[in-house]
């Protein structure tokens, strides 16, 4: 009975994989079309075009540095979070994890978004962490992001109700820090990862404050937190490469509901945010890939060999292993 059903089960699995690949390709194409539609929508608004041209022609480099610094902070906090989550399953250096996160972020811009699979494969091959545990860490990271986004959404709601934002914004980190002192180590690890992800999402608000300021528009802190929540959720939607196209429209459509800014201005601010993000990802991801392939793979074998070059037999044995 089992032998008779096995070929049918294999066919079903192959068909499911084929459909998943097709969905990813369709989503990638749709994301590009949404991005082009956002650009066309902006191009129809003369005022927005003039503001964007002025921002790009003579930008306030302090705001550009603020935006770029927040993006770097996102990667640093994300790398720290995954370092905390993966600690029980294997040894991954802090700098190594930062490089893995940056490299995966660059790879994620490819149409099929292979970054998470590349990270699982890296941890399995290089760090000797079982696929099950490496996959669990990826899932835990997604769960931390969802919870952090929900907590931030609650923060925005409370700030609007109370008429203030600053002290409410610090309420969640304070509660998480206080809780860590009263629980055991495994649960403390989860709360620390959640705190890091929460701070990571909050940095997205800084990005939107800077992006709108580059256009000569002021954005309140509660509105920036709301856009950060929407943006992070849009980035997590499956099959879209880093929320390409989807994130632009999510921010553009939500901005008029919570601010006095029009849809086209929200789209433009997100495109500026995306442009700086891509530049930073190219720089950080390129450096990370070079470091991982050379420093972690090639250089140790060269230093370990007697004559400065890895023996062919040893190289082949380690590659197979």
**How far is the C-alpha of 183 from the C-alpha of 290, rounded, in Å?**
40
Distance CA(175)–CA(173), nearest Å, equals 5
pTM of the model: 0.75
Is the Cβ–Cβ distance between 165 and 159 less than 8 Å? Answer: yes
Distances (CA, A) of 162 to 201, 214, 223, 227: 22, 29, 15, 19
- pLDDT value for 313: 44
For 186, residues 6+ apart whose C-beta sits below 8 A from its C-beta are: 88
Q: 146-151: which pairs have CB atoms within 8 A and are 24 or more residues apart?
A: 146/236, 147/194, 147/197, 148/194, 148/197, 148/198, 148/200, 148/201, 148/232, 149/201, 149/229, 149/232, 149/233, 151/198
Classify 291 as helix, strand or coil. Answer: helix
Distance of CA 286 to the CA centre of its chain: 16
pLDDT on residue 321: 41
Report the alpha-carbon distance of residue 131 to residue 123 in Å, rounded.
8
- Note the pLDDT of residue 2: 43
Spans of the chain below 50 pLDDT: 1-6, 9, 12-13, 16, 306-321
* Token pair for 38: 């956002």
Domain ranges of the chain: 2-277
């Amino acid at each position: 009975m089992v032998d008779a059903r096995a070929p049918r089960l294999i066919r079903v699995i192959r068909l499911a994989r084929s459909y998943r690949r097709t969905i990813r390709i369709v989503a990638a194409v749709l994301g590009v079309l949404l991005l082009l539609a956002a650009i066309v929508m902006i191009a129809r608004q003369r005022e927005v075009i003039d503001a964007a041209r002025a921002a790009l022609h003579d930008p306030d480099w302090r705001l550009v540095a603020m935006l770029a610094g927040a993006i770097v902070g996102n990667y640093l906090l994300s790398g720290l979070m995954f370092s905390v989550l993966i600690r029980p399953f294997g040894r991954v250096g802090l700098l190594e994890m930062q490089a893995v996160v940056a490299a995966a972020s660059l790879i994620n811009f490819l149409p099929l978004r292979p970054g998470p699979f590349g990270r699982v494969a890296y941890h399995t091959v290089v760090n000797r962490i079982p696929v099950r545990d490496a996959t669990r860490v990826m899932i835990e990271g997604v769960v931390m992001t969802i919870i952090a986004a929900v907590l931030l959404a609650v923060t925005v709601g409370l700030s609007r109700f109370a008429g203030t934002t600053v002290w409410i914004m610090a309420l969640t980190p304070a509660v998480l820090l206080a809780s860590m002192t009263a629980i055991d180590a495994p649960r403390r690890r989860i709360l620390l990862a959640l705190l890091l992800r929460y701070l990571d999402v909050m940095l997205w608000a800084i990005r939107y404050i800077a992006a709108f300021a580059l256009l000569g528009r002021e954005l309140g802190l509660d509105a920036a937190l709301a856009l950060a929540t929407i943006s992070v959720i849009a980035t997590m939607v499956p099959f879209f490469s880093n929320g390409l196209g989807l994130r632009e429209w999510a921010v553009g459509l939500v901005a008029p509901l919570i601010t006095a800014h029009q849809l086209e201005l929200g789209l433009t601010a997100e495109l500026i945010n995306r442009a700086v993000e891509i530049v930073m990802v190219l720089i950080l991801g390129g450096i990370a890939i070079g470091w991982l392939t050379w420093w972690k793979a090639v250089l140790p074998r060269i230093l370990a060999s007697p004559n400065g070059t890895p023996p062919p037999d040893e190289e082949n044995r380690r590659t197979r292993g």
